[in-house]
Structure 1
């Protein structure tokens, strides 16, 4: 019976954690719906006044991006901002033939008067975090915008984000990711579905109540002072963006999330690329849970509710482990249910946990409806998308569980 009790304990803990996460999502939905009714009266720089236009550095950390570099550089060159207040750093750690083609294209853009520099390192120490840190040493900008190679900000991007830094407490302005290849395949549709939930429900829900959010590694802009005050970029986790975000917010810097400013990007179109991305995000999330949990709990300057949301946020990637455990333990639990009649009440109580799925279903419907519209036809489509999402999440759960365990235990 000892083995059976271990199975029951693991199964119960997993269901409880999933329910806690679901309840947090429901709370974020309420926050999101309230936030949508509020008008944004944040102070803003007047960019029509030359005296209020700050210097901005755009950083483009790239690594072996042969097929998208020309598109990236041409797109960034279209950004609307006074040329005497803008510099672009191409932080190129590439080891393939893209180095030469990138250098040629940068020289071509320099001839147009664009202040763009090709910055190379002798080694890749710290990977992306190391590249960003190296570029920051010589950055002229008071504010640092960051874009990955597969992102295509619109020309007005800086005009819509920079003004919010008039509030000296704002350390980061983050924008919502768009998906230019959302409808390419079932895989891209499901990735977009999951990311939409994060960039609407979660980011708005947390930010509107002053809870911690994260800079998403790209499509956002930092105050340079905030980066230095938080301890600069560190490469000891796979998600350096989440790490620096929490260190900055623990230092009382405020983050501003702009749901209405979309930054288009490409989603991975092959499953190996999507799995690799998921592995990195989930392992990095677990690493940051280990690194930041004690700091969040011990911080005296943040309310209890913010601490709870912060802990669940950092524990986000570990939900895949719970999903995996529930899946593999379902069969032995059926055996236990049939063999041990005295546990009937326990299994009746456990049936309550189906409410977790119902909560997720309701929360994600609001997000789906915002993108595709309401109505009966779209609701039927949503049901298919929702269960496809959970099927793919289940399929990824073993791979992501390995990532989470590596993040927690090395």
Structure 2
């Protein structure tokens, strides 16, 4: 009875458009008062506070703030120029530039939405001006924006680490090779699409002097992910302390090096980071009583027993887990989906032979596909707003990237070394 009240009320609230955090909070209260749990109101308050009471979560606003500072300091434009020097002369080169820019910027912002918005505001108009279909430019940007969650400052990987008690530093290091691999697959996809449709390439090569100036100009920005990972790997700082270092570094780079970060923009950058953090922390807080009720009602245990009771091979078990993640990812944003499903599905994936780091990266990437998949895909809404296009015209061009993403997930499952090699090499 209790679990029925919880899930039915949650589903109804979600369908009528109530924000996900309030869906979980109200559903939990209804389950407490209408079910058979017999818990006092103070219990709900205690669980809610406990959900947001983790020092590692402090890394989220700090990484978001650092990303905002770097973007407002002219970072995205500099990264794009360097990427264009490298890939611009290839057929459909600006599609590759888009992916490369998203990869680097995502390693700094840690957020798929921030990555998509920052890169899209520059790359979509630039690609349209060079003769690319605007819908294709928007599609590349939406897909490449997911690289923001597979990087050295990924907010989602921090959440995963907190939820599953996995080393956050190890997860951030483990994401490096998969992030580069996924970016390479997206670049190949962009090239194939461009070749098939006859998209242009840049016929106006830059001089070596211009290339050198742009590379030197982008270097301080490119060093920030190295600062973060280097401090974690070297044992100098925890992930939370490294996020504070990232804020100081990005502030000094914007003020002293790039000199494009006016002091008045600090308030806007902080406001944006705080607004995003508020949403994430509210979800984390109200997901805790929701998850506790699921656990008490033995939903995770019953789900695990059902899957293991199918008497299937480990690979079939993993496929079933990922299919469930994908289905949920169509309807829920990545953070809430991870918060709800990780406690249920991670133990099943581990029992099927996946490693902790591999599970974190695969789960994140699988849910990340939902970011550029209708009807809820956040990245699609962002690029449609920038390009002034409807969702379905962009979705047609996203089909190759959906296929490429499935190939990436399959490769990450089949080859654990993609996620395990670097952490093992560096001893994290």
TM over 0.5: no
TM-score, length of structure 2 as denominator length: 0.25
Choose between structure 1 and 2 for higher RCO, CA contacts under 8 A separated by at least 6 residues.
2
Which structure's CA Rg is the greater one?
Answer: 1
Which structure features the higher share of helix residues?
Answer: 2
